[in-house]
Amino acid sequence: MISSTPMIELRRLHRFFGTVRAVDDVSFEVYKGQVFGYIGPNGAGKTTSMRILATLDLPSYGDACVDGFSVVNDPERVRRRLGFMPDYFGTYPNVNCREYLDFFARSYGLAGKERQRALKRVMGFTKLDGLAEKPTRGLSKGMKQRLCLGRAMIHDPAVLILDEPAAGLDPRARIELRIMIRELAAEGKTILVSSHILTELAEMCDQVGIIEQGRLLAVGSVEEIQKAQRTHSDVKVRVLDGAAPLAVWLEQRSDVEQIAVEGELVHFSHQGDRRDEAALLREMVQAGYQIVEFGCKQKSLEDVFMQVTRGAVQ
């Protein structure tokens, strides 16, 4: 059940750099336990939005809140509730993994047994406990990303902001990171994550927001955005005794286009959701066509992204 109070809230957020509107009237909400995917090309405004949420920048207009606290009026309370993983971070060359995390635990005021518990919890979750004595400079890209995630969650924040966490990772490391993010959400953490790997966002996010040139173009679940954009499904139907009569029947429908016949197969594009597809199949059977195969492929998040955005930069 979704809480009535959002853990992350952007309220008509604006951020200008001279004449450039890096963030231009952006509003959305993310609730406890949700993973929100923030999608957009380079320069779209994702990182600027995230920096404002992390209290590293101030909005020109509007506001952003974390757990009900304003980044403008209550930045210290926001920092206690938020962990930020930037797209690029530095690791100190002369410390090992445990010392690195211990430094940030101390920075958050953790002491004694509380700090030791936090280190054990984070190193166990990120699977860094076996590398506790390894110098940070000797870590692989994937292990460095785990270390940065551990740094962001060392003080057990309710909200995590992850800016391109999968950038540069190999396939196995990306899968493991995706699993960790879903585990954190299952524990009740609220997560805002940006990525250029849209297939992974589609798999792990409850909601997504598509931003371009500072403006939020679409927000909601992938299915909701697909429906709002009136996206089409690619449908393949196999029918006995030839497909030509079915193709003629389909040509009379306003929700079908791009019909192609190949032997017993008919390929076409269908506008509608899964219920519409089920209704279409039922009507085909009722019309007397002997359907032996019916397959639909919904447009992916990548397809929706290409449809919504224009590739504009600023």
CA 117 centroid distance within chain: 30
Q: Are residues 24 and 94 located together in one domain of the fold?
A: yes
| Residue 71's CATH number | 3.40.50.300
Task: Report the pLDDT value the prediction gives residue 298, as an integer from 0 to 100.
Answer: 65
Task: Report the pLDDT value the prediction gives residue 234, as an integer from 0 to 100.
Answer: 84
- Residue 204 is assigned to a structural domain of this protein: yes
Q: Are residues 127 and 215 located together in one domain of the fold?
A: yes
What is the Cα–Cα distance from 294 to 117, expressed in whole angstroms?
55
- Residue 182 is assigned to a structural domain of this protein: yes
209, 39 Cβ separation under 8 angstroms: yes
Amino acid at position 180, single letter = M
The mean pLDDT of 194-207, rounded to a whole number, is 81
Q: What is the SS3 assignment for 127?
A: coil
Query: Does residue 154 have a pLDDT over 90?
Result: yes
Q: In the structure, what pLDDT confidence band is assigned to residue 222 with cuts at 50, 70 and 90?
A: confident
Q: Are residues 123 and 262 located together in one domain of the fold?
A: no
The mean pLDDT of 134-154, rounded to a whole number, is 91
Q: What is the SS3 assignment for 305?
A: helix
Task: Report the pLDDT value the prediction gives residue 102, as an integer from 0 to 100.
Answer: 96
Q: Are residues 260 and 142 located together in one domain of the fold?
A: no
207 φ, ψ to 5°?
-135, 155
- Residue 190 is assigned to a structural domain of this protein: yes
Q: In the structure, what pLDDT confidence band is assigned to residue 227 with cuts at 50, 70 and 90?
A: low
Q: Are residues 159 and 180 located together in one domain of the fold?
A: yes
The mean pLDDT of 213-230, rounded to a whole number, is 79
Q: Which of 208, 176, 175 has its CA nearest to residue 194?
A: 208
Q: In the structure, what pLDDT confidence band is assigned to residue 29 with cuts at 50, 70 and 90?
A: very high
Task: Report the pLDDT value the prediction gives residue 116, as an integer from 0 to 100.
Answer: 96
Q: Are residues 253 and 175 located together in one domain of the fold?
A: no
Q: Give the residue, 74 or 314, on which the prediction is more confident.
A: 74
What is the Cα–Cα distance from 181 to 45, expressed in whole angstroms?
23
- Residue 210 is assigned to a structural domain of this protein: yes
- Residue 294 is assigned to a structural domain of this protein: yes
Instruction: Give me the domain span that covers residue 253.
Output: 232-298
Q: Give the residue, 149 or 303, on which the prediction is more confident.
A: 149
Q: Are residues 174 and 294 located together in one domain of the fold?
A: no
Query: Does residue 158 have a pLDDT over 90?
Result: yes
Task: Report the pLDDT value the prediction gives residue 313, as an integer from 0 to 100.
Answer: 54
DSSP states along the chain: ---SS-SEEEEEEEEEETTEEEEEEEEEEE-TT-EEEEE--TTSSHHHHHHHHTTSS--SEEEEEETTEETTT-HHHHHHHEEEE-SS----TT-BHHHHHHHHHHHTT--HHHHHHHHHHHHHHTT-GGGTTSBGGG--HHHHHHHHHHHHHTT--SEEEEESTTTT--HHHHHHHHHHHHHHHHTT-EEEEE-S-HHHHHHH-SEEEEEETTEEEEEE-HHHHHHHTT-EEEEEEEETT-SHHHHHHHTT-TTEEEEEEETTEEEEEEES-HHHHHHHHHHHHHTT--EEEEEEEPPPHHHHHHHH------
pLDDT tens-digit map of 77-130? 999 999 999 887 777 778 999 999 999 999 999 999 999 999 999 999 999 999
Task: Report the pLDDT value the prediction gives residue 314, as an integer from 0 to 100.
Answer: 58
Q: Are residues 78 and 179 located together in one domain of the fold?
A: yes
Q: In the structure, what pLDDT confidence band is assigned to residue 55 with cuts at 50, 70 and 90?
A: very high
The mean pLDDT of 235-240, rounded to a whole number, is 92
- Residue 306 is assigned to a structural domain of this protein: no
Residue 93 corresponds to which tokens in the numbers above? 């060359």
Task: Report the pLDDT value the prediction gives residue 290, as an integer from 0 to 100.
Answer: 92
Q: What percent of the chain has pLDDT over 90?
A: 62
The mean pLDDT of 194-218, rounded to a whole number, is 85
Q: In the structure, what pLDDT confidence band is assigned to residue 26 with cuts at 50, 70 and 90?
A: very high
- Final residue of a domain: which of 195, 227, 259? 227
Q: In the structure, what pLDDT confidence band is assigned to residue 307 with cuts at 50, 70 and 90?
A: low
- Final residue of a domain: which of 201, 227, 253? 227
Q: Are residues 122 and 29 located together in one domain of the fold?
A: yes
The mean pLDDT of 20-28, rounded to a whole number, is 95
Q: Are residues 143 and 263 located together in one domain of the fold?
A: no
What is the Cα–Cα distance from 49 to 138, expressed in whole angstroms?
32
- Final residue of a domain: which of 227, 242, 258? 227
Query: Does residue 194 have a pLDDT over 60?
Result: yes
56, 48 Cβ separation under 8 angstroms: no
Query: Does residue 308 have a pLDDT over 70?
Result: no
Residue 167 corresponds to which tokens in the numbers above? 């950038």
- Residue 308 is assigned to a structural domain of this protein: no
pLDDT tens-digit map of 267-282? 998 887 778 889 999 9
Q: Are residues 268 and 150 located together in one domain of the fold?
A: no
- The number of distinct structural domains making up the chain is 2
The mean pLDDT of 215-243, rounded to a whole number, is 80
Query: Does residue 16 have a pLDDT over 70?
Result: yes
Task: Report the pLDDT value the prediction gives residue 124, as an integer from 0 to 100.
Answer: 95
pLDDT tens-digit map of 284-293? 999 999 999 9
- Residue 304 is assigned to a structural domain of this protein: no
Q: Are residues 182 and 102 located together in one domain of the fold?
A: yes
Under 8 Å CB-to-CB from 78, ≥6 apart: which residues? 53, 55, 65, 66, 67, 69, 70, 71
237, 294 Cβ separation under 8 angstroms: yes
